[in-house]
Structure 1
Amino acid sequence: MMKKFLITSLIFCASFIVADIHAAEEAAVEKITYDDHILPIFRQRCGSCHNASDQKGGLVLDNFNGLMAGGGSGGSVEPGDASSSYLYMVINHDSEPFMPPNQPKMPEKELTLIKEWIDMGALQNKGSKVVKKKNDLAKIEISTERPADAPVMPISVPLAPVHTPNTGNSVTALACSPWAPLAAISGFEQILLYDTNSGLLAGVLPFPEGTPQILKFSRNGQLLMAGGGQGGASGRVIVFDIKTGNRVAELGNEYDSVLAADISSDHAMVVLCGPKRMIRVFSVQTGEQLYEKKKHTDWITAAEFSPDGVLLATADRSNGMTLWEAMTGNEYLNLKGHTGAITDVSWRPDSNLVASSSEDGTIRLWELNDGNEVKRWNAHGGGVSAMDYTRDGNIISIGRDRVVKLWQADGKEIKAFGGLPDLGMEVAFDAESNRAIGGDWTGDVRVWDASTGTHLFSLATNPPGLSEQMATSIEQLKQAESKLKSSQDSLAALNNKIAARQQAVTAKKQDITNREMELTQANTQKDQLKKQLDAATAELAKKSAEQKSQEGTIGQLKKEVESLTKAANDKKAAVATATQQKQTAENQVSELNKKIEEAKKQEGEEGQKAVAALEQQLTTAQQQLDAQTKSHAEAVQAQTAVDAALAAKQKQVTDLETALAATQKAVQEMTVAVKNADKAFKDQEANAKKLQDSLPELKKQLAELEKVAPITEDEKKQQAELAAQVKQNESLVALSAAHKQKLEQQLAGSQQASAQN
């Protein structure tokens, strides 16, 4: 309820904000003028084309008024902003057409001088007044959602370090982008940007103001705010554009280094604090101081706007911690509890809790209604040096015990990351790559995998020059390609191993299917052979019966032939007897005829009586002959009939014997056929049984293969890990190749600039 009331009151009070401008003296600035510094350059480099006589493109560069009037493309100089000046963009080769045409860029010293002249206000002469440049940075809407343009990474940021000392420097500032795999680390008069996926240098931001003491990314990841300076001398806050590395805002003009600072979520305000114990809040857009507050009694060591932009938390090294209304600067709550210097403050992403760390070794969580402590735990022996909320609401911290720790929101330790050689100084968590980063007093910056705790690589606080970076980059690319191939080979081997098991199951299933098909075919053939055997057996039985019938018929016929043969012999004998009797009768008739002829020769009655008697005998004999002739004909006829019957019967026997021989041959053949069919059937029956008996073993083998075929949980884990390694290594190779190309381009540009100078 208190917070809702606060938001409402802030909206009401916003229209009554009055800027409380800090009246610090400005350091004397040496003026750069057109007449004294710029005209000689334009005469030498551009005078042949852009003079009062030629005016190529309608642009005159050897006359101040003509230059400021612009040319055919419009205005050429935007006083106070070189980066928006068309003239500077074409001579710096940021925009086409590159000038001078068909020539290298002007020497870097001349370009720097022209840029500073424009940024100072494009003064004509020493009597001209310096123009204070306003920051070209728009206020944005506050959002906790992932930005549409995420991840924002450096694109045209130089890789050449400002300084290349032999040793690292103490890590005084460290931050990670909330929406990109990007870390910012303090260096000597420079800020180093590293790709946390690869560990490759992504850019170097010059910080001539001195040592960066505080680095913070804007909550949308587009900007990097750096605060620092020279102790006891000066301090400022610079806001950089991540993509270009350009300074988009320069705020404050302190007499001591800035130790604590932050940029609001809407990019509208920057707070800066330090040893002077003063809280100053500036408008990012105008550079004007909105208000200042003097509440703290010791160095202010931490400051952070709440993500929703409503509150501002500040803390000092004398245990003091205060919450302020961010827009008005009105004091909201005092949070009391720490017994040692407060080293850091951080807001939970939902803005409902604020955390603080201290040299008393504790991390404490505070609610916003009454400012009560809701949770605390002993985090690091010897003191907590720094801590920060992660994107998912966990907390990461580092301490003098040289250990980085990741905590749940309730203070339960998730994992500890050790190995730092000296006192822990700064810490950050990269949510994009799930990595913990910690830096120590010696400048050792280590990156760990937050899930496994593995130390992946270290980041240099003072990287070498371009040439050495190039040599290292070439080697890193080779190593990255080697790692990629190794991870690809390992993943392929694992996948092949898994696939081989699955293929074995498929092959075994196919074996079973084939065996079942063979069994089906074998059973079909067995059934067919059984039908053939049954048909052959039936045919053999039929032929055997036919043979037996034929043999019986032949036996009966032979008996009939035997009987007919006897009858024929009898008939033949009867014919012989009838023939003899007939012959006898014929002889008797012939004899009687002769006697009658002899008797007729006798005359008289005696002769007549003898003839008559003989004729009577002849009649009787003729009758007997006729009877014998008839009997003979009948006997011959009977003999002929019997002979015909015998011949017919003998023919029947011969024909049946021929048929029997054929039947006997058929029986023999069918006997062989039945034997062969029976053997074929029994062989096929045995084959079918063999196939049937082999199926259970095959199915048992399949069951065993199916048990081991599925991918195991360990293999899934290993597969996911290897796939992640492949993806990570692919990304690393791409990043390494791009980094090498970027180095080549910048090295070539550096060599070209050196040659011109």
Structure 2
Amino acid sequence: MNRLNIAALFVLAGCGVSFAADEKSTPEVKKVTFEDDVKPIFRQHCASCHNQGDKKGGLALDTYTALIEGGGSGEVVYDDGDPSASRLWQLVNHDDTPIMPPNQDKLPAEQLAVIQAWIEGGILENSGSKVKAKKKNSLAFVASTGGKPEGPVAMPESIPQRVPVATERAAAISAIGTSPWAPLVAIAGQKQISLYHTETSELLGILPFEEGIAQSLRFSRGGSFLIAGGGEHSLKGIAAIYDVKTGERVATVGDEFDVVFDADVNASMSRVAMGGPQKMLRVYDATDGELIFDLKKHTDWIFAVAYSPDGVLIASGDRSGGLSLWEADTGRLYLDLTGHKGSINSVAWRDDSNVLASASDDGTVKLWDVVEGKTIKSFNAHGGGVTAVAFDHQGRLVTAGKDNRAKLWDAGGGLIHQFQPVSEDVLEVAISHDGSRVIYGDWDGQVFSASAEKPEQKEALAANPPPAAERAKVVQQQLASIQKTMQPIKAELDAAMNAVAAAQKPIDELNAKIAAAKAEAEKSKAAADAAAKKVGELDGQIPALAGASRDKHDAVIAVRVQTNGDANKLDAVAAAEQALIDHLSQLVKLRRDRIATHQSIATHQQTAAAKTAEAAELAKGLPALQEALAKAQQAADAMKQKYDGVATQLTAVQTKLDQLSAAIN
């Protein structure tokens, strides 16, 4: 429990908080009201400057009505129960400037606790006031995938590798932008924009920006296009739109007489808004470059311009702290957001378009409810000034500042991590599409890509990469190293594949034997079935032949009786006897076939059983051989995967070398 909450317990007890003795009963808490509790505090510390007779800043605190009405900058406290969104609380708690009371320490903790409890209780006027239903907290946010394209997201495929300008060191980093859906970051350099893979830190290509230096880099809502605003001071300003896949510049919009500090495109890619030293927010048709709106409200250089993700509003901020919202379709002023005391250096929209973040030289980041037009959160982010701010898809924020740091905040403005300090102001910051990397650049031209979870783990990215020839030498060394690495891996892969073949050979031989035994078993089984069938057929033939033999025998007797020993008729007797002999011979043959066939059934069945048993016995040896094969195959697969990984790396490096060679030639 923090000090304020502990103090609040004592204060509330002093204000008449009572707890029933029965632990089952609900504690009754006296209402904290303006008249009874808060007004005495304001009378003691604030009334001399903020009263009906002397409204410093247009604000009076001596009556409830005057307090609720607010001051010259609008309302200072709201009935939503959130102290952090209250301008009054931000100042008395020294969360923002100017601190109140001025040139003094904070109010005593117990008095701050009363003010906090009063706001949390719904800013009641008196004991008869009723608490209004709390409004939805505008900081509540559910991450959205709105705008994500169907299918693969855009990544560089054929981006140029030629370096337009080679310098000993990069200039101060003027712009960093990350793709909303792909591991891709764009970094501005002198007359060029470098594209890096956020996960590998690999340089993917370089886009020429011949007009000068890009002062802003924003990706389109779907991530397929990169919008670069910039130019040359006091000479020319434009917005260039590039195809992320090919690097082709598909449009150049605007013809300013001075540099463009920030530019953005709407969700439908039909309009481009830009601002700069000419103090005018200009909106152009992205297809034909025609000027649609020329908005002249700002009185100082426009540093920040951004369309809301839904394309409904445009936010613009200037060097004098002016921050405005415009209707994107009509160009009409929607809201003035007041409260910053310094230059608006950067603005960023949350995915749901309900909250705008603004970063200022006054050291604060403010979160604005664009429906209510009020500050819902303001926090001191960087001493000396905040130079950049950006949201991720989770509603978290990253900021850069003049305290030489980049920082990561939760959706409510709570600090998560601060990244290792650099030697100069951090000017730009962005966060990767998945929130895993924070990329920031400083006044010295250094750019770092750091882990969002482990800020100490970081890699340097060059805003002005070395010339293609120098990078080609490095890539050639990488290629030679990979080729050298591949040789032993290829030898190991060949050995592993040979081991697989060796392990497969006994399995094939054993399977052949098993198959042969099974074939013999099937053959014997078929022979047994055929013999049984033949026995059945013979059993059907023999009884008829046996019956016919008796008839043949009777015929012989009859012929003999008829001839009665007559020698001239012996031929008839011989013929009848021969017919009997032939018939009996056929019968004998069938009976012998039947006996032999029946005996063969058992033989065939025994052979089939023996061969089946032989196949089963042989199959017992398969598991061990198959296990050995599986191990050999597993080792070969692992080696193949390793080899394929290196081969893929080799192909990628060779492709890069080819691109660099083309850039050199």
Interval of TM-score (by shorter of Structure 1 and Structure 2): 0.5 to 0.7
- Unaligned segments of structure 2, at least 5 residues: 1-143, 487-641
Distance change >3 Å, CA 438–CA 254, structure 1 → 2: same
Aligned to 2:395: 393
Once the two structures are overlaid, the 10-residue window that deviates more, 442-451 or 147-156, is 147-156
The question of 1:743 aligning with 2:656 is answered yes
Aligned to 2:350: 348
The question of 1:198 aligning with 2:111 is answered no
Distance change >3 Å, CA 738–CA 355, structure 1 → 2: farther
% identical equivalent positions: 41
* Among candidates 269, 279, 282, match of residue 280 of structure 1: 282
* Among candidates 228, 235, 238, match of residue 236 of structure 1: 238
- Tell me which amino acid in the other structure corresponds to 2:655: K
TM-superposed CA distance for 1:243, in Å, is: 0.5
Distance change >3 Å, CA 300–CA 740, structure 1 → 2: same
Measure, in 2, the Cα distance between the counterparts of 1:190 and 1:362: 32
Measure, in 2, the Cα distance between the counterparts of 1:217 and 1:174: 10
Once the two structures are overlaid, the 10-residue window that deviates more, 469-478 or 384-393, is 469-478
CA contact (8 A) 1:234 1:256 kept: yes
Aligned to 1:416: 418
CA contact (8 A) 2:405 2:419 kept: yes
Measure, in 1, the Cα distance between the counterparts of 2:328 and 2:482: 47
Aligned to 1:222: 224
Aligned to 1:452: 454
Structure with a larger share of its residues in helix: 1
What TM-score do you get using the length of structure 2 for normalisation? 0.53
Measure, in 2, the Cα distance between the counterparts of 1:174 and 1:483: 36
CA contact (8 A) 2:367 2:376 kept: yes
SS at match of 2:444: coil
Distance change >3 Å, CA 433–CA 350, structure 1 → 2: closer
Aligned to 1:721: none
Measure, in 1, the Cα distance between the counterparts of 2:485 and 2:450: 18
SS at match of 2:421: coil
Distance change >3 Å, CA 242–CA 379, structure 1 → 2: same
- Tell me which amino acid in the other structure corresponds to 1:740: V
Measure, in 1, the Cα distance between the counterparts of 2:649 and 2:189: 23
1:180-329 map, 5 Å = 180-329=182-331
Distance change >3 Å, CA 449–CA 281, structure 1 → 2: same
What TM-score do you get using the length of structure 1 for normalisation? 0.46
- Tell me which amino acid in the other structure corresponds to 1:744: L
Measure, in 2, the Cα distance between the counterparts of 1:483 and 1:359: 53
SS at match of 2:255: strand
Distance change >3 Å, CA 480–CA 445, structure 1 → 2: farther
Aligned to 1:174: 176
Measure, in 2, the Cα distance between the counterparts of 1:730 and 1:179: 31
Q: Deviations over 1:292-345 (max 9, x none)?
A: 100100000001000011011000010000000011100000000001111111
- Tell me which amino acid in the other structure corresponds to 1:470: A
Distance change >3 Å, CA 277–CA 181, structure 1 → 2: same
CA contact (8 A) 1:405 1:416 kept: yes
- Tell me which amino acid in the other structure corresponds to 2:245: K
- Tell me which amino acid in the other structure corresponds to 1:422: E
Q: Deviations over 1:625-656 (max 9, x none)?
A: xxxxxxxxxxxxxxxxxxxxxxxxxxxxxxxx
Aligned to 2:463: 461
The question of 1:470 aligning with 2:483 is answered no
- Tell me which amino acid in the other structure corresponds to 2:440: G
TM-superposed CA distance for 1:288, in Å, is: 1.1
1:114-133 map, 5 Å = none
CA contact (8 A) 1:421 1:444 kept: no
Measure, in 2, the Cα distance between the counterparts of 1:365 and 1:294: 25
Aligned to 1:363: 365
CA contact (8 A) 2:273 2:282 kept: yes
Measure, in 2, the Cα distance between the counterparts of 1:331 and 1:235: 24
1:705-720 map, 5 Å = none
TM-superposed CA distance for 1:469, in Å, is: 0.9
Instruction: Kindly report structure 1 stretches of 4+ aligned residues shifted beyond 6 Å.
Output: 477-484, 729-735
Measure, in 1, the Cα distance between the counterparts of 2:151 and 2:409: 30
Measure, in 1, the Cα distance between the counterparts of 2:318 and 2:645: 42
Aligned to 2:341: 339
SS at match of 2:469: helix
TM-superposed CA distance for 1:457, in Å, is: 1.0
Distance change >3 Å, CA 247–CA 731, structure 1 → 2: farther
CA contact (8 A) 2:428 2:442 kept: yes
CA contact (8 A) 2:451 2:458 kept: yes
1:623-702 map, 5 Å = none
Q: Deviations over 1:725-752 (max 9, x none)?
A: xxxx99997886455223322244345x
Report the aligned-residue RMSD. 2.6
SS at match of 1:387: strand
SS at match of 1:468: helix
Residues matched between the structures, number: 368
TM-superposed CA distance for 1:454, in Å, is: 3.1
Measure, in 2, the Cα distance between the counterparts of 1:212 and 1:731: 40
Aligned to 1:14: none
- Tell me which amino acid in the other structure corresponds to 1:400: K
Measure, in 2, the Cα distance between the counterparts of 1:483 and 1:363: 51
TM-superposed CA distance for 1:147, in Å, is: 1.3
The question of 1:160 aligning with 2:162 is answered yes
* Among candidates 357, 368, 383, match of residue 381 of structure 1: 383
TM-superposed CA distance for 1:431, in Å, is: 2.4
TM-superposed CA distance for 1:369, in Å, is: 2.6
Distance change >3 Å, CA 336–CA 731, structure 1 → 2: farther
Measure, in 2, the Cα distance between the counterparts of 1:171 and 1:313: 23
TM-superposed CA distance for 1:352, in Å, is: 0.7
CA contact (8 A) 2:393 2:435 kept: no
CA contact (8 A) 1:333 1:370 kept: no
- Tell me which amino acid in the other structure corresponds to 2:654: Q
Measure, in 2, the Cα distance between the counterparts of 1:746 and 1:474: 12
SS at match of 2:659: helix
1:44-63 map, 5 Å = none
Measure, in 1, the Cα distance between the counterparts of 2:242 and 2:411: 32
1:4-83 map, 5 Å = none
CA contact (8 A) 1:466 1:743 kept: no
TM-superposed CA distance for 1:285, in Å, is: 1.6
